[in-house]
């Protein structure tokens, strides 16, 4: 990856998440033309130390959370040309996520 001739993939959009328990968090996103997605998460926006590399689907459940800790998620898109980083999002309790850089709430049904 990274040696192709073409455009980088578009930034991943339509990211949705809902805590289904204190330890489990499904993450979904809109289907796009990326070959692979890397779902990166952690407990601070600058400490995203955990990841899942996903190919062929647009969903993963994060199951290694720590009760009571904030959760930050980023979904990067890959293709033959390279990587497009996603936006770091803070997961709130309930059915919405908070855009870290933009400071606004994004409802899951958006």
Predicted pLDDT of residue 104:
35
Span 84-99, average pLDDT? 73
Torsion of CA 29, 46, 25, 64, to 10 degrees: 130
What is the distance between the terminal CA atoms of the chain, rounded to a whole angstrom? 31
**6 occurs within a structural domain:** no
Predicted pLDDT of residue 32:
94
15-46 residue pLDDT tens: 999 888 888 999 999 999 999 999 999 999 99
**41 occurs within a structural domain:** yes
Which tokens hold the place of 87?
């936006």
The confidence band for 96, taking pLDDT boundaries of 50, 70 and 90, is: very low
Nearest Cα neighbor of 29 from 55, 53, 59, 74 is 59
DSSP 10: P
**58 occurs within a structural domain:** yes
- For the chain, give the mean pLDDT: 83
Predicted pLDDT of residue 108:
41
CA distances to 13, 16, 56, 62, 98 from 42, in Å: 19, 17, 24, 11, 15
| CATH classification of the domain holding 30 | 2.60.40.10
The confidence band for 3, taking pLDDT boundaries of 50, 70 and 90, is: low
Domain range enclosing 34: 16-100
Q: Number of folded domains in the chain?
A: 1
**1 occurs within a structural domain:** no
Q: Write down the pTM of the prediction.
A: 0.80
């Amino acid at each position: 990856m990274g040696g192709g001739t073409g455009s980088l993939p578009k930034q991943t959009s339509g990211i949705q998440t809902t805590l289904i328990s204190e330890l489990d968090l499904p993450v979904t996103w809109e289907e796009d033309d990326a070959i692979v997605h890397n779902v990166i998460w952690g407990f601070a926006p600058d400490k995203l130390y955990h990841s899942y590399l996903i190919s062929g689907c647009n969903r993963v459940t994060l199951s290694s959370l720590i009760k009571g800790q904030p959760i930050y998620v980023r979904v990067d898109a890959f293709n033959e040309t390279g990587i497009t980083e996603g936006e770091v999002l803070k997961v709130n309790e309930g059915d919405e996520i908070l855009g870290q850089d933009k400071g606004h709430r994004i409802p899951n049904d958006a």
